[in-house]
Amino acid sequence: MKIGFVVTAHHSDENRSNGGQFIDKFCSTLNEYCHYPFNLYVMDNGSTYELILPENAINIRIDNQIKEGITGAWNNGIYRAYKDGCDLIINCSDDQWFNETINSFIRFIIHYNNFPISGEKLAEDIIYGPLTDGVLPPCTQKSDKPMSGIQIKSCDDWHSTISGFCFAMTKEHYEKYRFETDKYFNQNNKHNGGDGKWGGQEGQFLENSEKGLTGVVVNECWLPHAKERGWPRLVGR
């Protein structure tokens, strides 16, 4: 299984002054702990500083982040990974980092993709997520450590959806649920909160639940997340 990690990064004094530190820690911990071969796609969403990246990073520059927002960067990165033939696409925030449990996350998805849990959704209908300390309650992904088992989430309301900070999909899921050939997220989905450039991603999961999407939280994977919310300053621009 070919794996693609996609991360959207930004470093500027105005919106993400610690963005350079975030992407450095993201890349270094991913390279240190992930035991599976992977492609790493870094979406530089309008940084004013040059991002210092490892040699294995594929740097994709977006000069004007205002045009399509973070949703545009996510769409572009996910599509690039898909176009490159990645079977599993993991979309991430730059302010999260990794530990050994990322391997449990990937291992579970590979197993589920080959052997769906009896009575549950097919693998193509699943969005996967980890546990983390960087979400707000009552989200059931909030935890201070990894646990056992999984959680099935209906994704049909805001409290039952997968958190957008880190989620994974198979290429079959992308092909079934994408909005357009090169876009998974529709900025104008009906749950976009009024500004789909910056706040429409989890709303897409809600909309896609009407077509059969379900979330699976892999409790054995716990990833720290700083939850640095710089992009909301740009909402409405």
Quote the CA–CA distance of 165 and 37 in Å, as a whole number: 22
Confidence (pLDDT) at 236: 46
Q: Which two tokens stand for residue 77?
A: 């990165």
Confidence (pLDDT) at 115: 55
Quote the CA–CA distance of 113 and 87 in Å, as a whole number: 10
Confidence (pLDDT) at 121: 63
| Amino acid at site 123 | A
Asked whether 205 and 101 are in contact (CB, 8 A), the reply is: no
Confidence (pLDDT) at 112: 79
Q: What is the mean pLDDT of each run of 10 residues along the chain (237 residues)?
A: 96 92 98 98 96 97 87 96 98 96 96 62 89 92 96 93 95 96 91 71 91 96 85 47
Q: Is the pTM of this model over 0.85?
A: yes
| 207 DSSP assignment | H
| Amino acid at site 121 | K
Element (H, E) at 221: strand 214-222
Indicate the length of the chain as a whole number: 237
Quote the CA–CA distance of 120 and 185 in Å, as a whole number: 25
Confidence (pLDDT) at 228: 73
Half-sphere exposure of 112 (CA within 13 A, CB side): 26
Quote the CA–CA distance of 222 and 237 in Å, as a whole number: 34
Half-sphere exposure of 87 (CA within 13 A, CB side): 10
Asked whether 223 and 144 are in contact (CB, 8 A), the reply is: no
Quote the CA–CA distance of 141 and 10 in Å, as a whole number: 25
Quote the CA–CA distance of 56 and 159 in Å, as a whole number: 37
The closest of 74, 236, 82 to 165, measured between CA atoms, is 74
The yes/no answer on whether domain 3-234 falls in CATH 3.90.550.10 is yes
The closest of 198, 153, 201, 157 to 179, measured between CA atoms, is 201
Q: Which two tokens stand for residue 66?
A: 């205002």
